[in-house]
Structure 1
């Protein structure tokens, strides 16, 4: 591949529903060509023409012949403008042979589940034969027509993957057939289908590796993801189009699932409605451009609608360019590389590690919409995500949303309807539908789970109930992993709180994130109520020693945990607040690890602990001297833990790579500030000013100076001058002496 230092660009024309033989006037087609020419003059060369289904009216051979003639005319017009685009297409409903479909579905007596084997062959030979017969006319046309697709083994006819060139860039185009499952005879009905083996066949053997060979990739289908039934939707999100794989998903039929077709998702779904339908208000085509410069992608989309009174094409009034700008920042984070699972020498391994990759949320508390990546490649070891931002930015909301999505149904109901109701964003005195989607992997397997909060009833529609049932198996398997959450209070008291004893263990381990008065689940480990557990005590003592150093040590006194600090022996409840809050979650983490992985825990190695840990205000009550070293020591001591934490401390923030910091800021596109530099070498004052937008000097002194300017200060002028003179190197007496001498010198010039 050629590479220059300059920008790389790729422009495409996205059409739908050409529908040869449909009643469309030559006048309308002429207006379409005029608008394409006008946009070409403004945007430059078109590199690809993409037709997302609806090529003919009935799928007859004579229609495909006429389609070729009309497309030749269109491409000739574009060639005359100075472009030489690649042409690609995916089939729609009208490209299916109905007789073959009837054989495929055996008169409606076969279901989708009957056809698909997710574990082995995907489709048996008999089914494949009928399926390929159903698209035989389309396949003949695709084989003979001179466009970019090439004949290769595919799982479903109409699928393809190819590389096309733009301005010094190489773009992957992947087209997948979504109409091959159609149990009804009405062409506008029937579920949409996408199976991971379709992608694996055209991007063999490894879709992820194929994608990485390109500057970026586009996915093309007839249906948007909202048309996928619950059987197919999780696989689409987890295995076909996980965050960062495709820059965009170009489709035909707008999503019913999302309502607003332009609602921001990853990948961004770009729909059209009909290229030659002439329906007023519908998006008839989209001209798009991706520009890559210095590793960052910028995106321009120009959706066009037909205005009948004006007899011309105009910009889509429902399209908000701010959506594209926000998505660009999310895509920049999603396309950063992910880190391999660390393997410390000699460390024991659980069956498969859990790694959370991405979360997308809508209408959670104060957050209208947000996408957060949790597994981005950084220069530092370990897996860390640090959420930063002002009070009310949504840091705790992100932790709560992630926790909910991993608990899943039915466990989240244990949190209570009132608590779940408060998590839904309030807008105009009404609670909005809240939605959380999370991508994660277990070993080589990727998964996607989705939670919707509709007040006291979750997954209200029949379709959503099916989706919930399909995901409950994944949520049950997640219970085998160590997933713990700790709120910003992390109470540890000898008072026995009975309020949450009836909760399942999985929910109790997260409850402090939702109830500020709740006690950490394994508090009995430190309070002495737990039976003697030498394995747990040894592991906890090792963790405390490596994190606290000589500042705090653990001793076991007659089976009970005691602490030694400054030569004093203390019980857990008597520890200083900072030590107590830190030791409390550390003990809980060790207890859960010993419970779920007793064999590995017997080694007593902190490096073996494999967990997902969410902590609100990780610096809670800690002295700056401990804040400064906390994260580096946890990186070394617990290298296999994935951390998602929040903080307001510049010393904590200075311990992170820029890829690990999620700086929440509602004024920024996408709600996250993009960090264009590392802050590892910043002083705390520089972090205050640059990242936290906060002056590093005293607010009280600023008030006094303002009052002095208004002649209303309560301080003597000389005292105020002395305060400004003081520094770590200048004492109060020295400052006053300097001020006195300076005043004497000035007096001589009067």
Structure 2
């Protein structure tokens, strides 16, 4: 299954949003990145996708208070998704929640759409395979054998997106169990994936006596639970994702090449800028057939998006949230250039203090001869700040060399003409 289009009406703070996931008329985008200030509904877009693809059984476990999904002072909300099956067939799934409806009424009102999902799931529970992660994702120390037995598998796959307190699969326990169950074959798959996703460290071994998974780091051999927060955060959701994929598609020779949909909020959470710049490549290379919809605040992550893959949620003058596509390719811009495009909306790449000093200086300068002694002192302070703090914008030596090379190439080409 792939997403082709999502339309939201009065869903939380999103009164009227339409987002296409089509790359061309015949293909769907692999990546969709969504930016936006806090409170513009980035997470709500991910939740709406999860809700409309869950099916009736799992929907009941995550829906909660129906009214909480409906925009204030509105009577109902609608989620409409156009999906494409593996065979290229379209499925239109639409859910409407009316204020005051209980679960039974919701399922009854949306019977036809839910029937499409439920039939597909009944035929094979891995149809419409969706996994989702919220911004709070940490390693769990729970006992694996008692962890996921009580709830519907589809709701478990997305629960972390809806519940900040929801823990992920305890990675150490699963790897130890996998080692007992399938030996080197299963462990090698996990080892290779973790090595790729966790740059700078390597999967070392399993200490069965101490029940620890060990990694080789620059500081020596370290158990998983003693790695840095950044590594643990990545290991938590990547390990959980690997578990869900390999368990669901365990009859596949290459389970990571299965089709699915990954929803992840703040995809680059806790990651150093060096890792952020490589993250999309890591995910894309390991999961070549997954469609990914993710949110981010990072220009370094946004810079990895290709043409048509980056969008921003912004409030207009009427306080209505709109979705704005990025025009062009983020990959062709420098990070500071990207920050000053409409999707980020920064007015300058200078520090806030320098920006304030400039504004103060320009304002006072415009008063000309009407400055009092206090204004003159403020202007003096602002001028001194600009003198000492204004960044220099000299081009690096490599840029000069590159420009010189281009000029020489152009000269040779013109001579040949």
1:362 aligns with 2:9: yes
Contact 1:395 1:646 in 2 (8 A): yes
SS in 1 for 2:191: helix
Alignment correspondent of 2:125: 479
CA 1:684–1:478: 2 relative to 1, 3 Å:
farther
**Alignment partner of 1:424 is 2:75:** no
Of 423, 426, 436, 2:79 maps to 436
Give the match's secondary structure for 1:372. strand
Distance 2:194 2:242 in 1: 11
Kindly tell me: are residues 468 and 461 of structure 1, through their superposed partners in 2, closer, same or farther at Cα, counting changes over 3 Å? same
- Report if aligned partners of 1:385, 1:644 keep a CA contact under 8 Å in 2: yes
Aligned-residue offset at 1:519: 1.2
Q: Secondary structure at the match of 1:626?
A: helix
Task: Report the aligned-residue RMSD.
Answer: 3.5
**SS of 2:96 mapped into structure 1:** strand
The reply on whether 1:640 has 2:285 as its aligned counterpart is: no
Q: How many pairs were matched up?
A: 367
Secondary structure of 1:448's aligned partner: strand
Give SS of 2:340's match.
helix
* 1:545-560 alignment, distance < 5 Å: 545-549=195-199, 551-559=200-208, 560=212
State the partner residue of 2:94: 450
Q: For residues 217-366 of structure 1, what are the structure 2 equivalents within 5 Å?
A: 354-366=1-13
**What is aligned with 2:234?**
582
Segments of 5+ residues of structure 1 without an aligned counterpart are 1-353, 731-750
2:153 corresponds to: 505
Q: Classify 1:382/1:451 alpha carbon distance in 2 versus 1 (closer, same or farther; 3 Å).
A: closer
What SS does the corresponding residue of 1:598 show, helix, strand or coil? coil
Q: Distance in 2 between matches of 1:525 and 1:410?
A: 30
**Secondary structure of 1:600 counterpart:** coil
Aligned position for 1:685: 336
Aligned partners of 1:634, 1:648: CA distance in 2, in Å? 18
Cα distance in 2 for residues equivalent to 1:463 and 1:716: 66
Kindly state the Cα deviation for residue 396 of structure 1 after the two structures are TM-superposed: 0.7
User: Contact 1:491/1:518 (CA < 8 Å) preserved in 2?
Assistant: no
Q: Is the 8 A contact 1:561 1:571 kept in 2?
A: yes
Among candidates 93, 107, 112, match of residue 467 of structure 1: 112
Deviations 1:386-407 (A, max 9, x none): 1122222221111000000111
Aligned to 1:538: 188
Q: CA deviation at 1:599?
A: 2.5
Deviation at 1:414, TM superposition (A): 0.9
Q: Partner of 2:220 in structure 1?
A: 568
| Kept after mapping to 2: 8 A contact 1:355/1:441 | yes
Are residues 466 and 702 of structure 1, via their aligned partners in 2, closer, same or farther at CA, if it must alter by over 3 Å? closer
* More moved, 712-721 vs 477-486: 712-721
- 1:576 and 1:660 map into 2 onto residues whose CA distance is 31
CA 1:536–1:395 in 2, change beyond 3 Å: closer, same or farther?
A: farther
Shift in alpha-carbon separation, 1:515–1:663, aligned structure 2, 3 A = same
Distance in 2 between residues matched to 1:718 and 1:587, nearest whole Å: 53
The residue aligned with 1:598 is: 250
Question: Does structure 2 conserve the Cα–Cα contact (< 8 Å) formed by 1:375 and 1:383?
Answer: no
Q: Name the SS of the counterpart of 1:652 in structure 2.
A: helix
Q: Give me the whole-angstrom Cα distance separating, in 2, the residues matched to 1:504 and 1:386.
A: 29
Secondary structure of 1:659's match?
Answer: coil
Q: Structure 1 residue 595: deviation in Å?
A: 1.0
Which residue of 2 is the match for residue 386 of structure 1?
A: 33
Tell me which of the two structures has the higher relative contact order, counting C-alpha pairs closer than 8 angstroms and 6 or more residues apart: 2
- SS of the counterpart of 2:331? coil
Q: Summarize deviations over 1:88-133 as a string: whole Å, max 9, x none.
A: xxxxxxxxxxxxxxxxxxxxxxxxxxxxxxxxxxxxxxxxxxxxxx
- What's the CA shift for 1:359? 1.6
C-alpha deviation, 1:705, in angstroms: 4.7
Q: Is 1:676–2:327 an aligned residue pair?
A: yes
Contact 1:525/1:588 (CA < 8 Å) preserved in 2?
no
State the 1:525 CA deviation: 4.4
User: Does structure 2 retain, via aligned residues, the 8 Å contact 1:377–1:659?
Assistant: no
Indicate the residue corresponding to 1:316 in structure 2: none
> Does the aligned pair in 1 maintain the 2:131–2:262 contact within 8 Å?
yes
1:651 Cα deviation after fit: 1.2
Deviation at 1:452, TM superposition (A): 2.4
Deviation at 1:463, TM superposition (A): 6.9
Q: Distance in 2 between matches of 1:728 and 1:423?
A: 51
Distance in 2, matches of 1:706 and 1:432, equals: 46
640-649 or 538-547, larger mean C-alpha shift: 538-547
In the TM superposition, what whole-angstrom CA distance separates every residue of 1:434-459 from its partner, at most 9, and x where no partner exists? 22122212222332222222345247
In structure 1, how many angstroms separate the alpha carbons of the residues matched to 2:30 and 2:107?
38
1:166-245 correspondence to structure 2 within 5 Å: none
Distance in structure 2 (CA, Å) of the matches to 1:725 and 1:464: 61
Shift of 1:625: 0.9
Distance in 1, Cα, partners of 2:96 & 2:28: 34
Q: Which has the higher helix share?
A: 2
SS at match of 1:509: helix
SS of alignment partner, residue 46 of structure 2: helix
Indicate conservation of the 8 Å contact 1:452/1:459, yes or no. Answer: no
Query: Which 5+ residue runs of structure 2 have no aligned equivalent?
Result: 365-374, 397-417
TM-score normalised by length of structure 2: 0.76
Corresponding residue for 1:723? 389
Aligned to 2:351: 698
- 1:48-87 superposed Cα distances (whole Å, 9 cap, x missing partner): xxxxxxxxxxxxxxxxxxxxxxxxxxxxxxxxxxxxxxxx
Query: Relative to 1, partners in 2 of residues 1:628 and 1:469: Cα closer, same or farther, differing over 3 Å?
Result: closer
Further displaced range: 522-531 or 476-485: 522-531
